[in-house]
Amino acid sequence: ATVTIQGDNKVYVPLKGPWMGVYAADACALVVAEEMGARIEDVILQYDNKAFFTPVGGGSDGTTASAWVMKEAAVACRKLLLELAAAKMKARPEDLDTKDTMVFLKSDPSRKIPFGQFIADEGFGDHDKDIAATFFGRPPETTWHQGGKVLDVMNASFCEVAVDTETGAVEVTRFVVACDPGKVLRMTSFEGQLHQAMFFSQGGGLSEEFVYDKASGVKLSTNMIEYRKPTILDLGPIETCAVESRSGNACYGASGISHCMAAPQLPVCAVANAIGKWIEPPITPDKVLRALGKA
């Protein structure tokens, strides 16, 4: 990962993407702003397919792999900035700090200079004067990879359903999810991952099914309508709670989240508690009526 300060007082982060999904790039920008002491609006993500950095990992470790290396690059860049600022401000680097994209003297915060001023003084537009730092490396090994050690992650999901005993219809009235991501870096990304996990849980438990012709073995449910994938309008209300243990190996103890909370048996168990009968998923109305002796 590379972090660069230019004369326009912006901090540039070149990366290949992604542009969508959980917005891992935004999480990286937030980390850079935190470590550099910059305003988030001054951190510019430069999408470039030739950039060396892609903020994604293998599945759930996107935060772990990407934000960690970005933090290290930002720390290195800030160190260079303070060393340059020390000479200009006639102070030692340890006597300086950063905030709101400004370098200031700890003993006299009124003495402050924008990041880009140090470069502009040397010749604005001359990118040879940019302050840049690059970092390569791997995050520290996770606890659960170190052999003989177990990381206890306390995650819990709850599901409440309403079952119509006359029609067999099942409605999810509420999901509640308490999850430990180590440290939340971008709250809407965290919530989005939990929402999609409950979407998977509801669909897998109540409607989704592959149907095959018994004689030929040909799959009959060949599209999302026949497979009965739910839509966002079918999804029950979701309450989320972040339990931040900071037990991960990424920056600030983040460990990521991904799809770990997906549990298709969640609504299945709720229905069993509601009617006192266990039904093999998917729990369709005809199965409910059959279990109640009404079919």
pLDDT tens for each residue of 190-236: 898 899 999 999 999 999 999 999 999 999 999 988 999 999 899 99
284 and 163 belong to one structural domain: yes
Given this model, what pLDDT does residue 48 score?
Answer: 81
Amino acid making up residue 257? I
**Range 146-173 average pLDDT:** 85
Domain count of the fold of the chain: 2
Residue after which a domain boundary falls, among 114, 139, 164: 139
For residue range 93-139, what is the model confidence (pLDDT) as tens digits?
A: 999 999 999 999 999 999 999 998 877 665 545 556 789 999 988 77
CA-to-CA distance for 285 and 254, rounded, in angstroms? 42
Reply yes or no on whether the pLDDT at 173 is more than 80.
yes
| Alpha-carbon gap, residue 102 to 34, rounded angstroms | 13
Q: Which band of pLDDT confidence, cut at 50, 70 and 90, is reported for residue 255? A: confident
Arithmetic mean of pLDDT over the chain: 87
Q: Rounded to an integer, what distance in angstroms lies between the CA atom of residue 70 and that of residue 54?
A: 11
Please provide residue 187's backbone torsions phi and psi, each rounded to the nearest 5 degrees.
-60, -45
Q: Which pLDDT value is given to residue 148?
A: 59
Q: What percent of the chain has pLDDT over 70?
A: 87
Residue whose token pair is 């999302």: 224
Per DSSP bridges, beta strands 170-179 and 238-242 are parallel
Tell whether the model's pLDDT for residue 21 goes beyond 90: no
147 vs 256, more confident: 256
Domain, as residue range, for 255:
156-291
pTM: 0.84
Q: What's 13's domain CATH number?
A: 3.30.365.10
Any domain includes 209: yes
Contacts 24+ apart (CB under 8 A), 37-43: 37/78, 37/97, 37/98, 37/99, 37/100, 37/101, 37/102, 38/11, 38/98, 38/100, 38/101, 38/115, 39/100, 39/101, 42/9, 42/10, 42/11, 42/101, 42/115, 43/10, 43/11, 43/13
Look up residue 80 and give its amino acid.
L
Among 95, 112, 139, residue at a domain's last position: 139
125 Rama sector, left if φ>0, alpha if ψ -120 to 50, beta otherwise:
left
